[in-house]
Amino acid sequence: MAGHQTYEEQKQLVFYGLKLLAVITIVEVAFALFAKGHISPSITFGKDGGFGQALYMLAMVGASVYKAYFIVFYFMHMAHEVRGLVLSVLLPTTLLIWAIIAFFQEGGSWGSRREQIKEKNLEVVQPAPKPQGYILPGTYNG
Amino acid sequence: MADSSVTHGHGAHGEDQNLWDGAKEPMKASYGKLMMWYFLVSDAFTFAGFLIAYGALRFSSPTWPEPDFVFASFPFVKAHWPLVFVTFMTFVLIFSSVTMVRAVQEGHRENRRGVVFWMFLTILGGATFLGSQAYEWTTLIKYENVSLERNPFGRYIADGELVDASGKPVLENGAPVVVKKDDSYLLHGHEHDGKIELEKKYIKYTSGTYAGQVQEVGQGPKAFGALFFFITGLHGFHVFSGVLFLTIIMLNAMSGLYVSRKNGYEMVEKIGLYWHFVDLVWVFVFLVFYLL
């Protein structure tokens, strides 16, 4: 609830939010096109697969998280809820930090071992010697 | 004695009794709003799971289609405009989020006409977004032949020269076609006996592990199509159901149903939470699919 704000203040916040989200989105897209060589073909740090791309990705994630924060706290009025509600919604999402670390590690490891996985899939293993049917002689047909 | 202890379980403690009667709202939010928040938390985990799966599969692939190459079509324009149309879609959602905030504010003032007006604009925004998504999907499915199992978008894994099936260089204006590592390609498809067949392209690598070898230019990572359609589809379904509920609640507001409730149009506030969440998810879908 935004009970302690006047109606005019509330309306102002809405237009501030519109401007903020619009500007961040425009900057994000412009920066993406710039970093991927669509504005000047010689600049491609946004897809070089190295440090430049890591920085580019970090900036993009940061901008998106800020947009998300603004939407949750001001459009969804989280800023005016009691502390218990805020924590009960936000704390569980910190579990995602570990999910991101674990699954990206998993994906990266899979990616770096693709050749090995292919080899292992093609590997022919000598079949094990036939068991002798020592429990009940002559009953093993495998 | 036994009777009163059944009807007033905590008769001896006045405050406790009030709690059980619902006199106090936990965390100063109504039951409906609280449950909407917790539903949104669980929904956030669903989307996060999908988006993290996208990241993990992307990391596991040697190459990944380049978003500014894949998403570059624009209605009525035969041009390569990377990311312009999805930026338009993002703006549509931002605007509809803003009109939703206005509807909630008018609801707090018990202004029926205001609520209906701003909700109508919000619905219009949602419908526009769905239409845009339909265009985007049509382009990908019908003209670029992406499906759940087929992905004609890829990137070369090393430098090379395009050749034909027999190994002779493909000439364009008399010169061989040279491609570089990480350049994007799209394998065009055509229908043959009711089935889509992708064109065959061959490359003679001049660098990397396969230098000197001729290989077929295959499809890009196949998971791309499935991930794209499932994740944007799930988001689109949220938009669709949001539009549906917004319409129902707008009609209820119009009919004057919420006037008698005298709770500041709380129903509008609840669907507002859901609608902002749909915008919030789009922020991350936009980040993961189009920006990174």
A131 pLDDT above the threshold of 80: no
First vs last C-alpha separation in chain A: 72
| Number of domains observed in the structure of chain A | 1
**Cβ B87–A25 below 8 Å, yes or no?**
yes
Mean pLDDT of the residues in chain A: 87
Residues A17-25, mean pLDDT to the nearest whole number? 95
Can you give the pLDDT at residue B11? 45
Interface test mutation site (partner A, options B39, B268, B283, max chain A beta carbons within 10 A): B283
Q: What percent of chain B has pLDDT over 70?
A: 92
Is residue A115 in a domain?
Answer: no
Residues A32-52, mean pLDDT to the nearest whole number? 85
A3 pLDDT above the threshold of 60: no
B4 pLDDT above the threshold of 50: no
Residue A26 to residues A63, B86, B288: CA-CA distances in angstroms? 11, 11, 16
Separation CA B239–CA B281 (nearest Å):
10
B286 pLDDT above the threshold of 60: yes
pLDDT digit string, tens, across residues B233-280:
999 999 999 999 999 999 999 999 998 888 888 999 999 999 999 999
Can you give the pLDDT at residue A125? 83
Can you give the pLDDT at residue A41? 83
Is residue A23 in a domain?
Answer: yes
**Cβ B44–A38 below 8 Å, yes or no?**
no
Angle CA B20–B26–B27, to nearest 5: 170
Is residue A111 in a domain?
Answer: no
Range of the domain at A39: 7-94
Lowest mean pLDDT segment, chosen from A20-24, A41-45, B218-222: A41-45
Greater pLDDT, B12 or A50: A50
A28 pLDDT above the threshold of 60: yes
Is residue A103 in a domain?
Answer: no
Residues B102-116, mean pLDDT to the nearest whole number? 94
Calculate how close chain B gets to A119, using CA atoms only, in Å: 16
H runs (alpha helix) in chain A: 7-35, 51-70, 83-93, 95-112, 114-122
Q: Closest residue of A to B82, CA-based?
A: A33
Which residues are bridge partners to B189 per DSSP?
B198
Is residue A117 in a domain?
Answer: no
- pLDDT tier at B77, thresholds 50, 70, 90: confident
Residue B149 per-residue DSSP state:
S
Is residue A84 in a domain?
Answer: yes
Set out the domains of chain B in order of their start, with CATH numbers.
30-149+223-291 (1.20.120.80), 154-216 (no CATH)
Residues of A in contact with B68 (CB under 8 A): 32-33, 36, 38
Is residue A129 in a domain?
Answer: no
Calculate how close chain B gets to A68, using CA atoms only, in Å: 6
Which three-class secondary structure state does DSSP give residue B123?
Answer: helix
8 Å CB contact between B150 and B222: yes
Residues A101-119, mean pLDDT to the nearest whole number? 92
